């Protein structure tokens, strides 16, 4: 039997077997233990991944074939993997059960994966990566050549397999920016031409859905305005949801019915060596690191230094009155700060970044411009220059003070359950070891959305928070899943 016939027969057998598996599953699984059901879900996922990868290769091979004109008429030509015939998606769309647009995306993704992304394709085949995230990777690298793709794959795998689609895109962008920053900037410049705002009727009566794609600078400013006003509305009327408040804020701002004042956090790398007990507050963890006076740390002659009233990054007490201890100052004083302020001028496109929840990280130059143009205040956020994570602190009460709450949310970025992208400010702070047996300390607090907070308490999922901020989850069946803290060094190259 030749290869073509054997492949066709194998596919036919798989189709029949898949139908039989579905019939068996549909008839019920009452005779299976929980572990057996999970094992079959895992096995079917691996089978789906392998079949999806095989289909991806076949789609790419079909798309590479085209018809060319010759002296004697039309004749078929195989252009090789990576080429996409103009009408390939039209042929495949009906059999894929897709309209033309999604089918065209599927075809272009298949061509890129098969031609230039073998590691990503293998992860898809193993069930470690779903097609949606594989598409995100291929889309970010669609203009990169084969050699560049190979280098990027070496930088992002295998950690990208545990990322959400958004984080996967950011990871690829960061890697690509290190290899070929010019191409990233050129792509970002071209992407601005694709900005739009559109509306369509909602599936809910009397409602309309809005969609927009904006350059990151304008998007950051708009989101900061909407989010700040929404939280004001939520404070005034707690019966509303935050989503409802954001919708009201959007409408009011567009119609000119409201004004806002927003705040941004400036990420300042500081020395993360062991803290000097003589220069930090007693509540600070021994791994906290020492913040320079210019970056918001206590002045040597600060009357509150070493006391709960000090507003060192390791504490959450009220300001003592010294300018050096005023953590809300838009521009801390001192020669050290003056030196970096010059570097953060709008003339420096490579400056450190400002992180905006829900938007990403924007250049500091843009943030400083926003501060001048819009009255957006800037406060400092101290980070470890080696890891990008923030600095440790602790408290003695059940409810974390604002400094610890801010730190944990900045450290985590999102809900820390695997593959959950709910933003940290919309999550609850959970004591891993219940209080008072477990302290109200950064090392014992985790951001979890309401759903995954309940999951942690009502199921046998067990999280372990390591000193570096990595969380290792063990599911009820013994498998482990890893989530990582937010990396505040990571700039969005598209910005």
Check whether 306 has a pLDDT greater than 60.
no
Check whether 300 has a pLDDT greater than 50.
no
Task: Please name the helix (run of DSSP H) or strand (run of DSSP E) that holds residue 412, with its range, or none.
Answer: helix 402-412
Distance CA 322, CA 324 (A): 5
Distance CA 103, CA 47 (A): 22
How do residues 406-428 score in pLDDT, each as one tens digit? Answer: 888 988 989 999 988 888 988 99
Residue 257 or 269, more confident: 257
Mean pLDDT over 381-402 rounds to 57
The structure tokens listed for 153 are 């794959």
* 18 and 50 Cβ atoms separated by less than 8 Å: no
* 446 and 429 Cβ atoms separated by less than 8 Å: yes
Distance CA 12, CA 19 (A): 11
Statement: the pTM of the whole predicted model exceeds 0.95: no
Residue 385: what pLDDT? 56
Q: What is the mean pLDDT of the chain?
A: 76
Residue 404: what pLDDT? 81
Residue 280 or 77, more confident: 77
* 133 and 127 Cβ atoms separated by less than 8 Å: no
Eight-state DSSP code of residue 237: -
SS3 146: helix
Residue 290: what pLDDT? 40
How do residues 442-479 score in pLDDT, each as one tens digit? Answer: 888 999 999 999 889 888 899 999 988 999 999 988 88
How do residues 355-383 score in pLDDT, each as one tens digit? Answer: 544 445 555 555 555 554 444 444 445 55
Check whether 294 has a pLDDT greater than 80.
no
Q: CA angle, corner 26, sides to 21 and 28, nearest 5?
A: 110
Residue 298: what pLDDT? 42
Mean pLDDT over 225-241 rounds to 90
Distance CA 413, CA 431 (A): 17
Check whether 216 has a pLDDT greater than 90.
no
Mean pLDDT over 223-228 rounds to 86
Residue 350 or 55, more confident: 55
Residue 14: what pLDDT? 83
Mean pLDDT over 68-94 rounds to 88
Distance CA 40, CA 60 (A): 30
* 475 and 464 Cβ atoms separated by less than 8 Å: no
Residue 33: what pLDDT? 86
Mean pLDDT over 484-493 rounds to 66
Check whether 114 has a pLDDT greater than 80.
yes
How do residues 14-45 score in pLDDT, each as one tens digit? Answer: 888 888 888 888 887 777 888 888 898 989 99
Residue 141: what pLDDT? 93
Residue 418 or 325, more confident: 418
Distance CA 52, CA 171 (A): 23
Mean pLDDT over 329-344 rounds to 42
Check whether 192 has a pLDDT greater than 60.
yes
Among 363, 410, 424, 342, which Cα is nearest to 217's? Answer: 363
Check whether 133 has a pLDDT greater than 80.
yes
The domains of the chain are located at 1-30, 32-189, 196-254, 412-483
Residue 111: what pLDDT? 97
Task: Please name the helix (run of DSSP H) or strand (run of DSSP E) that holds residue 77, with its range, or none.
Answer: strand 73-78
Query: Which range is least confidently modeled, 51-60, 119-128, 420-429?
Result: 420-429
**Residue 436: cis peptide before it, omega within 30 degrees of 0:** yes
């Amino acid at each position: 039997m030749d290869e073509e016939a054997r492949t066709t027969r194998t596919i036919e057998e798989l189709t029949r077997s898949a139908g039989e598996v579905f019939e068996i599953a549909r008839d019920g699984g009452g005779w299976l233990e929980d572990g057996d059901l999970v094992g079959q879900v895992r096995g079917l996922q691996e089978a789906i991944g392998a079949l999806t990868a095989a289909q991806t290769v076949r789609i790419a091979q079909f798309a590479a074939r085209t018809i060319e004109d010759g002296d004697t008429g039309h004749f078929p030509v195989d252009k090789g993997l990576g080429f996409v015939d103009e009408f390939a998606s039209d042929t495949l769309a009906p059999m894929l059960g897709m309209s033309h647009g999604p089918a065209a995306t599927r075809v272009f993704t298949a061509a890129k994966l098969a031609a230039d992304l073998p590691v990503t394709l293998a992860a898809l085949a193993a069930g470690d990566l779903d097609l949606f995230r594989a598409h995100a990777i291929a889309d970010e690298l669609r203009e990169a050549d084969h050699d560049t793709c190979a280098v990027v794959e070496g930088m992002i795998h295998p950690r990208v397999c545990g990322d959400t689609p958004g984080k996967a895109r950011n990871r690829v962008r960061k890697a690509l920016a290190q290899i070929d920053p010019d191409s990233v900037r050129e792509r970002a410049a071209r992407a601005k031409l694709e900005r739009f705002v559109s509306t369509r009727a909602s599936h809910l009566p009397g409602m309309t859905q809005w969609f927009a794609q904006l350059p990151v600078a304008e998007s950051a400013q708009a989101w900061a305005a909407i989010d700040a006003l929404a939280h004001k509305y939520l404070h005034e009327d707690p019966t509303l949801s935050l989503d409802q408040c954001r919708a009201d804020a959007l409408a009011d701002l567009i119609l000119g019915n409201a004004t806002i004042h927003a705040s941004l956090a400036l990420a300042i790398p500081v020395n993360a060596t062991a803290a000097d007990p003589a220069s930090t507050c007693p509540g600070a963890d021994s791994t906290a690191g020492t913040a320079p006076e210019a970056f918001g740390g206590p002045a040597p002659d600060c009357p509150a230094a070493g006391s709960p009233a000090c507003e060192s990054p390791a504490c959450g007490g009220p300001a003592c009155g010294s300018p050096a201890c005023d953590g809300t100052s838009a521009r801390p004083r001192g020669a050290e700060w003056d030196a970096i302020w010059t570097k953060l001028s709008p003339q420096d496109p490579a400056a450190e970044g400002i992180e905006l929840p829900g938007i990403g990280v924007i250049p500091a130059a843009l943030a400083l411009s926003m501060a001048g143009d819009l009255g957006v205040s800037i406060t400092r956020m101290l980070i470890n220059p080696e890891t990008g994570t923030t600095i440790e602190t602790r408290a003695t009460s059940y409810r974390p003070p604002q400094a610890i709450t801010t730190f944990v949310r900045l450290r985590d970025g999102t809900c820390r359950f695997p593959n959950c992208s709910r933003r940290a400010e919309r999550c609850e702070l959970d004591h891993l070891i219940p209080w008072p047996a477990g302290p109200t300390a950064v090392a014992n607090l985790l951001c979890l959305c309401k759903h995954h907070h309940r999951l942690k308490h009502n199921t046998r999922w067990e999280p372990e928070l390591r000193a570096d901020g990595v969380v290792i989850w063990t599911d009820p069946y013994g498998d482990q899943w890893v989530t990582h803290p937010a990396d505040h060094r990571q700039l969005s190259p598209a910005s």
